[in-house]
Amino acid sequence: MNPRTLMAVMRKRFASVCSSSSAEEDSAGLYDSAPISSSDPPSEQEHPCASLLCCHSVQDSLLSSNSSFTRYRGILNWIIILLVLTHAHLFLENFIQHGFLIDVKKVFQHLIEDNCNWPSVSLILGANVFAITALLLERFQEKGALSPTNGHRLHLANLGLLLLFPAAVIVHEPTTSTGGAFFSLWLYTVLGMKLYSYQEANHWYRQAHLTDADKDQNGSVAQKAQNEHLTYQDLYYFLLAPTLCYQRDFPCTPKVHINKLLHRLLEMVIVIQIMVGIVQQWIEPIFQRSENSFSSMDITMRVEHLVGLVAPTHFLWLLFFFLNHSYLNFCAELLRFGDRHFYGDWWNATTLITFWRNWNIPFQKWCHRHVYTQLVEKNVPSSRAELLVFLMSAAVCEYMIALPLHSCRLWIFLVMVFELLVAVFLKDYFQGNYGNGLVWLCHLLGPPLAVITYFHDHYISFHNCHQSSPSPLISVHHLPSRVCLQSQ
């Protein structure tokens, strides 16, 4: 065979190999030779360079939008190492500039109250009155001594007093500490949601038992089974369980694992210590540079302080989530509570709506069960019902932060409403990874940053009161900001 014929056969052979490799994915190794057909001439099969001449195929760059590449673990490790080194430098610079500022005694000063008058402790003990009242109302309705309509009205009155009582004590009792006010208000809010679910669920159970009694004509057995659950043990198990929705016969695990309990307890202790360290070592020096509240600052100073507070506030928010995870799992393990789906993978959320649905599953279940479903049953459109549920949750967040600090400025509520507008109008423009980036950006510049502004203004008013306090006999640690401002 002459050289020209040989070259033509080789071109034909190599073209067929390259086209086949471009059409389908090659499962062999990168340097494996291409398959050779037995029908080709002997000169083609024996050519030593056939597998080296074709090295290209149609494929996208890994970082392009058309690529299906998803293995970014190495980049994630690089980002984590870079963040650790960067913030280690910030911590070192902070220690060099301010010294060691962590002092546990300051934490207790915001928790300790007057020895002769403990309003927070009295509030916590008084919560049992509302819980026992709800149980007695349910028992009266089971015995027929109270009609369902009157029972529902009395339940609502009990819940109304439950919400007003702690607010009145926190506002009008000057010896209430800041930490005690926060803990008491949080406890009463959770208790109110639990008791509302308790009376609603028992109402549904009664309706179901009445229907079963009409079917099988055995109402006494159903009545006995109903009364077995209206006990103090059943009520307080629900009040202590990590859930807001009541049902009978909660799913339980076989036994309590002591090692898991100790693990969760150790997690809570460590996380609380880290949070205290971030507040005293990182956030408090930024507060000390301020002389005025955020509302009275000029725009340049306000932006400077907010930018400085973004990173520590975000870390506190993440640590608070982990503390919540440890606490809920600790309670679940202690009570052998089986349903431990407390949150979803909110860190992968591509929209803010998805994040809100996965951030706090117990609260989401309660809103869907007792608010959204009830509104839809009353012919409220689903979109409007979702909007009302969101506004209610935003109002609850504002209430639980603003009331203990005696500062209602609606910043948290307005920031959450702004996030809702972002979620509605930008959902078509930010999807996938871009949507997830927008979610994280909203976490950095959203409600957590609005929350820290409330504490900033409370800190400023507290220290202004400390500097102008006329009498050393009054402990300014126990005075809320409104009392301090009135004394100036």
pLDDT along the chain (488 residues), means of 10: 55 53 43 44 57 76 78 80 78 72 65 64 90 93 87 93 91 82 92 94 85 56 63 93 92 92 93 88 83 80 86 90 94 93 91 91 94 92 92 92 87 92 86 87 89 87 62 39 41
How buried is 141 (Cβ within 10 angstroms: 0-12 exposed, 13-18 middle, 19+ buried)? buried
Contact present, 419 and 400 (Cβ < 8 Å)? no
Distance from C-alpha of 335 to C-alpha of 243, rounded to nearest angstrom = 12
Q: What is the dihedral of CA 411, 412, 418, 420, to 10 degrees?
A: -160
- CA atoms in the 13 A half-sphere facing the CB of 105: 1
SS3 130: helix
Q: Write down the pLDDT at residue 372.
A: 93
> What angle, 0 to 180 degrees and rounded to 10, lies between the N-to-C axes of helices 447-467 and 411-425?
160
Q: Write down the pLDDT at residue 24.
A: 43
Q: Write down the pLDDT at residue 134.
A: 94
- What are the two backbone dihedrals, phi and then psi, of residue 470, each rounded to the nearest 5 degrees? -80, -20
CA 312-317-320 angle, to 5 degrees, is 125
Beta bridge partners of 303: none
Handedness of CA 121, 122, 125, 127 (dihedral sign): negative
Phi-psi region of 26 (alpha: psi -120 to 50; beta: other; left: phi over 0): beta
403: amino acid identity, one letter:
L
Distance from C-alpha of 251 to C-alpha of 464, rounded to nearest angstrom = 52
**Domain extents in the chain:** 119-240, 255-487
Q: Which of the 8 DSSP states describes residue 294?
A: G
Phi-psi region of 406 (alpha: psi -120 to 50; beta: other; left: phi over 0): left
CA distances from 261 to 256, 274, 275, 327, 334 (A): 8, 20, 21, 10, 7
Distance from C-alpha of 55 to C-alpha of 52, rounded to nearest angstrom = 7
- What are the two backbone dihedrals, phi and then psi, of residue 351, each rounded to the nearest 5 degrees? -140, 155
Q: Write down the pLDDT at residue 18.
A: 52
Contact present, 410 and 276 (Cβ < 8 Å)? no
CA 60-65-68 angle, to 5 degrees, is 65
Distance from C-alpha of 398 to C-alpha of 457, rounded to nearest angstrom = 15
Distance from C-alpha of 215 to C-alpha of 30, rounded to nearest angstrom = 73
Residue 267: which residues within 8 A CB-CB, separation 6 or more?
A: 322, 323, 326
Q: What is the dihedral of CA 418, 419, 422, 427, to 10 degrees?
A: -160
By C-alpha distance, which of 463, 451, 486 is closest to 106?
Answer: 463
Q: Write down the pLDDT at residue 465.
A: 67
| CB atoms near residue 324 (< 10 Å) | 17
By C-alpha distance, which of 419, 363, 418, 421 is closest to 392?
Answer: 363
Q: Write down the pLDDT at residue 118.
A: 74
